[in-house]
Amino acid sequence: MIHGFKNSPLACEGIIGDGCGGGRWFFVEDEILKAYDPISKENITLVQNIKKAKKISKKRCVITIECEDETIEFDLSQMQKK
């Protein structure tokens, strides 16, 4: 786990066995959705230009980003916004 992520509304953990991204952390930082792999200790950029993010969550292979003006869904299995 990365320090400070556990209680942040802009971060969520990919649960192993719950679809794509198990064991990784997903977070929004500087208007960018990133994935952190604790094994390689690398960040991967997934989506840019996320404006006014308030909260993210993950269910199976879809990361949902709730913003002030829109809701963004990112499908990890297809690596694209829905």
Fold (topology level) of 11-81: Thrombin, subunit H (2.40.10)
Spell out the domain ranges in the chain. Answer: 11-81
| pLDDT per position as a tens digit, 4-57 | 566 799 999 998 888 788 899 999 999 999 999 999 999 999 999 999 999 999
> Which pLDDT value is given to residue 29?
94
Q: Single out the residue of 77, 2, 74, 82 nearest to residue 33, CA to CA.
A: 74
> Which pLDDT value is given to residue 6?
66
Whether the CB-CB separation of 62 and 52 falls below 8 Å is answered with: no
